Amino acid sequence: MSLVLLRKALKEEKLIYGRDRVLKMLKNGGAKKVFVARGFNDTPLIEKYAGLAGVDVVVLDEKPIEVGLACKKQFPVSVLCY
């Protein structure tokens, strides 16, 4: 189900990749939803700022390399938002 949400977001939204940029978006209030790959070390930090900003966090069952492939990137993607 969560990968379906990610694919829908790929088609409809402009995605922001990377921990630092996602945190910046959360702090500025520009994020609507955050996707986090399984095994990401900073998940509690992302969830903390997302909770303060009132943004939904979707924890994916896929590893970062699989999320990167789903996003048609040639690198692992651990966290992204729109």
- Is 29:55 a contact under the CB 8 Å cutoff? no
- What band does 13 get if pLDDT is binned at 50, 70 and 90? confident
User: What's the rounded Cα separation, in Å, for the pair 49 and 46?
Assistant: 5
| CB distance 26 to 49 below 8 Å | yes
pLDDT digits (tens, 9 = 90+) for 39-80: 999 999 999 999 999 999 999 999 999 999 999 999 999 999
Structure pTM?
0.91
Residue 48 near residue 55 (C-beta atoms within 8 A): no
Place of tokens 């990167």: 68
In this structure, whether the domain defined by 2-81 belongs to CATH 3.30.1330.30 is answered with yes
Q: Residue 8 carries which side chain, given as an amino acid letter?
A: K
The reported pLDDT for the residue numbered 1 is: 60
Nearest to residue 80, comparing CAs of 63, 57, 61, 62? 57
pLDDT in tens, 21-50: 999 999 999 999 999 999 999 999 999 999
pLDDT at 2: 82
Q: Where are the domains of the chain?
A: 2-81
